[in-house]
Amino acid sequence: MEQEMHIQWWLTIAVSLLSLVSGGLWIRSATARVIHDDDKVDEWGMKPMAIIDNVGGKEVNVLETAKLQSKWNRLAAWFAGGAAIAQAISSFFFSLP
């Protein structure tokens, strides 16, 4: 009985930490912006295609911003998935009579 409570405590800690990290990563994703660099060129000396939007007085590269936000979203989803798995294990094994 004491060992079960110990495992459940650690699962609760895991859910809390994974959820906290996931939330932080999603906030980072929602606020990520890539400022347009008009001097940027690719390996052949060509300027890459860019869709530019003016956000708060800054020129934001929409395509590069979407790529960056996708990276942060992917990380957040992994942590959220880990939290869900830990919660499911805790609920299934320790909440049933």
Q: Tens digits of per-residue pLDDT, 38-92? A: 777 777 777 777 788 887 888 999 999 999 999 999 999 999 999 999 999 988 8
Q: Is 82 inside any structural domain?
A: yes
- The range of the structural domain enclosing residue 12 comes to 7-37+47-94
Q: Is 42 inside any structural domain?
A: no
Q: Is 69 inside any structural domain?
A: yes
3-state helix vs strand vs coil in the chain, percent to 5: 65, 10, 25
Q: Is 2 inside any structural domain?
A: no
| Residues 65/34, Cβ–Cβ less than 8 Å | yes
Q: Is 17 inside any structural domain?
A: yes
Task: Give me the number of domains the chain comprises.
Answer: 1
Between 21 and 55, the higher pLDDT residue: 21
Q: Is 67 inside any structural domain?
A: yes
Secondary structure class of 97 (helix, strand, coil) = coil
Summarize pLDDT for 26-45 with one digit per residue, the tens. 999 999 999 988 777 777 77
Q: Is 88 inside any structural domain?
A: yes
Q: Is 18 inside any structural domain?
A: yes
Six-digit token string for 33: 């912006």
Residue among 51, 81, 48 nearest 66 (CA): 51
